[in-house]
Amino acid sequence: MRVSVIIPTHNEAQAIGRVLADLPTDLVTEIIVVDSNSSDGTPEVAQSRGAQVIREPRRGYGRACLTGLARADNPDILVFLDGDYSDRPSELPVLLAPIIEGRADITLGSRVGSQDHAAALPWHQRFGNGLAAGLVRALYGVQITDLGPFRAGRADMLRALSLEETTYGWAVEMILKGALAGYRIVEVPVSYYPRIGKSKISGTLKGTIGAGWFILSRIVSYYFRRRKSR
């Protein structure tokens, strides 16, 4: 299978080299780093490690993911991974296994059981993440515990979902639209560690509130949109 890995970045020069070095070369067909106006040399580091670098001047986490999705070269599976080395790219086989074995269409890496989960995520982010996952379980019936960034999906299905969120609402759009379309969504346990460098979300009050608003509002709005269409 052709596997394309998409990594959104913004000032991740300290970490991106380690992320790229840990990706299993026998599984990955192409690596796309979508960089949003980094000023610390992130694109140059990524390029020197063999990644295809796409400059995306428009801000937004979802925007970077959408840009990478559009530029991926005919993959069977798309993988999304942060560039801060909080997830371990070496665990990619665990993430891909349910899809390759035909048991899932989308897989999500759950950080909840990780030994370093509490240290890697501040309490307010753990609370918001748990609240969002609980709402998804209650409103959509998808048994998830986490909205982690390390995730994968069949490329044909992801493209059929017409994903459009350019903000941190991207974290749930794939899950919600996938659930409504009847896709099989499976969680797998992954490790999680304190990121290298300062977080753009939990590192600031504005980032935390903004991400929480986009995620929670999308969960509720998609639910009522579904009920209205019935």
Both tokens assigned to 116: 């370093």
Domain span holding position 203: 3-229
207 pLDDT more than 70: no
| The predicted structure's pLDDT at residue 197 | 66
Long-range own/partner contacts, residues 198-203 (CB < 8 A, 24 or more apart): 199/84, 200/10, 201/125, 201/168, 202/121, 202/122, 202/124, 202/125
Query: What is the distance of C-alpha 158 from the center of its chain?
Result: 13
Give 74-115 pLDDT, tens digit per residue: 999 999 999 999 999 999 999 999 999 999 999 999 998 766
| The predicted structure's pLDDT at residue 120 | 67
Mean predicted lDDT score pLDDT of the chain: 89
| Choice between 46 and 217, residue whose per-residue pLDDT is larger | 46
Question: Residue 200 — pLDDT band, cuts 50, 70, 90?
Answer: low
* 213/122 Cα distance (integer angstroms): 17
The domain that contains 26 carries what CATH number? Answer: 3.90.550.10
> Maximum Cα–Cα distance for the chain, whole Å?
52
